[in-house]
Amino acid sequence: MIKRLHYPLELMLTCVRWCAAYPLSLRHIEEMMHERGVLVDHATVHRWALKMLPVLAAAFRRHKQSEGKSWRMDETYLKVAGRWQYLYRAVHRQGHTVDFLLTAKRDSAAARRFLERAIALYGKPEKITIDKSSANTATITGYNADHEAAIELRQAKYLNNIVEQDHRAIVSDQSTPSLATMAVSR
């Protein structure tokens, strides 16, 4: 990833961090770098972000702490680049995100792909709380049968409020998806 660099790596990582952490446009980052005496084009910053964000996300996932044994899992829909997409998310008891998956379809296959990836990355939980989604129910039941697991499935109306309330921040700012969301979901 760091071959043939024309700019210092620290500068590139700073630009990519600004892309991922703050709601700045690429042209804003170009202007901020110009104010600091660095001439860099917004398209170059975009290429850096597309190249570095997946690598950084994978590196950070490896060092992420255990996500507990009780998850809340849910899906919502939002508009990304003019198309409606489904966002599957799991959070642990304190409300921190375990994992997410952005997909075009809301079905058992997408829910299964999300659950297996989350378990592969963060370990098997003891309990998963969901809403009345039949796709999520079938996914967890099927996972238990296929892997001889004993994940407890809870469908309680108010226990899933942590993830439901967390959707508000995502859905309210769906006009401009961040580069981090787009790069990590690929």
For residue 185, the SS3 value is: coil
Give the burial class of 109: count Cβ atoms within 10 A of its Cβ; 0-12 exposed, 13-18 middle, 19 or more buried: exposed
Domain positions in the chain are 9-62, 70-184
Q: What is the pLDDT of residue 171?
A: 53
C-alpha span between 105 and 83 (Å, rounded): 12
pLDDT tens string 89-136: 888 877 778 888 999 988 889 999 999 999 988 888 999 988 888 888
Question: CA-to-CA distance for 100 and 178, rounded, in angstroms?
Answer: 15
Question: pLDDT digits over 153-185, tens only?
Answer: 988 767 666 666 555 555 555 444 454 544 444
- Provide CB contacts within 8 A for 10, sequence distance 6+: none
The per-residue pLDDT for 157 is: 66
The fold adopted by the segment(s) 70-184 is Nucleotidyltransferase; domain 5 (3.30.420)
d(CA 20, CA 35): 20
Q: What percent of the chain has pLDDT over 90?
A: 37
Whole-angstrom Cα distance, residue 156 to residue 131?
Answer: 7
Give the whole-angstrom CA distance, residue 17 versus residue 27.
Answer: 15
